[in-house]
Structure 1
Amino acid sequence: MENVEQEFLSVIREYERVIYKVCYLYTTPNATLNDLYQEVVLNIWKAFPKFRRECKISTWIYRIALNTCISFIRKEKNIPEIVTLTQEADRSEEDDETQAMLQQLYRMINRLGQLEKSIILLYLEEKSYEDISEITGLTVTNVATKLNRIKDKLKKMNKED
């Protein structure tokens, strides 16, 4: 059992930032970043002994994180709200102009639907279309189509702002 715990803790440490990024995009007043993070880690812990290594562990973690956050938000859907960027981003490495552009991007992403958020998050994490397909359950063609539509939607939002 201790071996499983050590392996689990190692995985959580390795993918902590990934989990936080996914949770961050789904944060609302009713679903705080820490609440979502704890819920995701708990679900990873529950599923960890059953992980069959049929896919990459990063794919498996993304899938659990996205599904957990989406389920959590569905339960708390009373008050949709746009989330602002917090100290979770590496502000020390970015200049003010880049920071402003990032904040704008996150505001626009938060206006997207849940599936669209998931897809663009994975794209921004430089996941391949195949990985995005595996995580979301969509076909690769559908991922490409949706990604193009999301990019168009974000461009339109940017022009409107």
Structure 2
Amino acid sequence: MENVEQEFLSVIREYERVIYKVCYLYTTPNATLNDLYQDVVLNLWRAYPKFRRECKVSTWIYRIALNTCISFIRKEKNIPEIVTLSQDSDRMEELDETQTMLKQLYRMINRLGQLEKSIILLYLEEKSYEEIAEITGLTVTNIATKISRIKDKLRKMNKEE
């Protein structure tokens, strides 16, 4: 059992940034980044013994992370919004131009639908269309079409801001 735990911890350490990126896109006032991250890791741990290695570890992690975050958001819709009293500016340091652009991109991505958000996240992670299709359960052709439409949507959003 200890061997399985060590193996799992090693996988989590290797894909920690990936998990955080997925969680970041689904963070809301009621669903903090750390809450989502913990839920994803817990679900990964529960599913780990059943992981048959029929797909890449990264594919398996993305699938569980996306499903966990989407489920969390669905449940959250029934919870009243919590208003925080502290301001984000207290915690934030000055952002350089690249960080500002990234924040703007993530803000626009957050306005997309759940599936679109998942697809563009995987695309930004430089996953191939085949890998994205495997993770989402869509066809490669469908992925290509959706990515093109998502890019158009993001361009349009960027012009509007």
TM-score, normalised with respect to structure 1? 0.89
Q: Which residue of 1 aligns with 2:155?
A: 155
Q: Which residue of 2 aligns with 1:137?
A: 137
Structure 1, residues 4-62: CA drift from partner, whole Å, max 9, x if none? 00100000110011000000000001111111001000000000001000000000000
Q: Which residue of 2 aligns with 1:14?
A: 14
- For 2:40, the aligned partner's letter is V
Q: Which residue of 1 aligns with 2:85?
A: none
Q: Which residue of 1 aligns with 2:48?
A: 48
Are 1:28 and 2:28 counterparts? yes
Mapped partners of 1:113, 1:77: distance in 2: 15
Across the aligned residues of Structure 1 and Structure 2, the Cα RMSD in angstroms comes to: 2.0
Mapped partners of 1:11, 1:35: distance in 2: 20
Q: Which residue of 2 aligns with 1:73?
A: 73
Q: Which residue of 1 aligns with 2:124?
A: 124
- For 1:123, the aligned partner's letter is Y
Mapped partners of 2:14, 2:103: distance in 1: 26
Shift, 1:97, TM fit: 1.7
Structure 1, residues 82-126: CA drift from partner, whole Å, max 9, x if none? xxx99xxxx99xx82212211111111111111111000000000
Shift, 1:145, TM fit: 0.6
Mapped partners of 1:16, 1:137: distance in 2: 23
63-72 or 100-109: which moved more?
A: 100-109
Mapped partners of 2:98, 2:58: distance in 1: 28
Structure exhibiting the larger radius of gyration computed from Cα positions: 2
Mapped partners of 1:29, 1:98: distance in 2: 24
- For 1:32, the aligned partner's letter is T
Structure 1: unaligned runs, 5 residues or longer: none
Q: Which residue of 1 aligns with 2:84?
A: none
- For 1:136, the aligned partner's letter is T
Mapped partners of 1:34, 1:8: distance in 2: 19
Mapped partners of 2:33, 2:100: distance in 1: 21
